[in-house]
A and B are shown apart, each in its own frame.
Chain A
Amino acid sequence: MTDHRKRAEPASQADENHEYQMIGEFDLPGEPGNDRLAMEKVAQVLAPLRLEKQRLDRLKTAVAEATLNALEHGSRYQHEVPVTIRVRVSQKRIAVEVTNFGDTDIPLDPELPDLEAKMAGEQKPRGWGFFLIQHLVDEVHITNQPARHTIELFVNRQS
Chain B
Amino acid sequence: MTATFTVQPHGTQTGVIFVHGDLTGAAEADLMQAFSQAVDAGAKNLVLDFSDMPFMNSTGIGLLVTLLVRANRTGIRLAACGLSTHYREIFMLTRLEEAFQIFSNVEEALAAA
Residues of chain A touching chain B, judged by Cβ–Cβ distance below 8 Å, are 32, 35-36, 39, 54, 57-58, 61, 64-65, 68, 113, 115, 118-119, 121, 124-129, 131-132, 135-136
- Complex: A124 Cα to B58 Cα, angstroms: 12
Contact of B26 among A32, A115, A125, A131 (CB under 8 A): A32
A128 touches B99 (CB 8 A): no
B74 at the interface (CB under 8 A from A): no
A126 touches B93 (CB 8 A): no
Closest residue to B86 on the A side, CB-wise?
A: A57
Q: Tell me how many residue pairs across A and B have CB atoms closer than 8 Å.
A: 66
Within the complex, the shortest CB–CB distance from A27 to chain B, in Å, comes to 20
B57 at the interface (CB under 8 A from A): yes
A54 touches B66 (CB 8 A): no
B96 touches A115 (CB 8 A): yes
B95 touches A126 (CB 8 A): no
Give chain A residues whose Cβ lies under 8 Å from the Cβ of B86: 54, 57-58, 61
- Complex: A64 Cα to B56 Cα, angstroms: 10
Knowing A54-B86, A128-B62 are in contact, say whether A119-B57 is a contact too (CB < 8 A). no
Q: Is the interface of B mostly helix, strand, loop or mixed?
A: helix
Give chain B residues whose Cβ lies under 8 Å from the Cβ of A36: 22, 55, 57
Q: Is the interface of A mostly helix, strand, loop or mixed?
A: helix
Give chain B residues whose Cβ lies under 8 Å from the Cβ of A125: 62-63, 65-66, 69
A132 touches B58 (CB 8 A): yes
B interface, how many residues as a size bin? 20 to 34
Closest residue to B61 on the A side, CB-wise?
A: A128
Within the complex, the shortest CB–CB distance from A72 to chain B, in Å, comes to 9
Within the complex, the shortest CB–CB distance from A74 to chain B, in Å, comes to 16
Interface residues in B55-96 by Cβ distance below 8 A to A read 55, 57-59, 61-63, 65-66, 68-69, 72, 85-86, 89-90, 93-96
Within the complex, the shortest CB–CB distance from B20 to chain A, in Å, comes to 16
B58 touches A129 (CB 8 A): yes
B98 at the interface (CB under 8 A from A): yes
27 contacts across the A-B interface (CB closer than 8 A): A57-B85, A58-B86, A58-B89, A64-B55, A64-B57, A65-B57, A115-B94, A115-B98, A118-B65, A118-B69, A119-B65, A119-B69, A121-B69, A124-B62, A125-B62, A125-B63, A125-B65, A125-B66, A125-B69, A126-B61, A127-B58, A128-B62, A128-B94, A131-B93, A132-B58, A132-B94, A136-B93
Most buried by B among A61, A124, A129: A61
Give chain B residues whose Cβ lies under 8 Å from the Cβ of A58: 86, 89
B9 at the interface (CB under 8 A from A): no
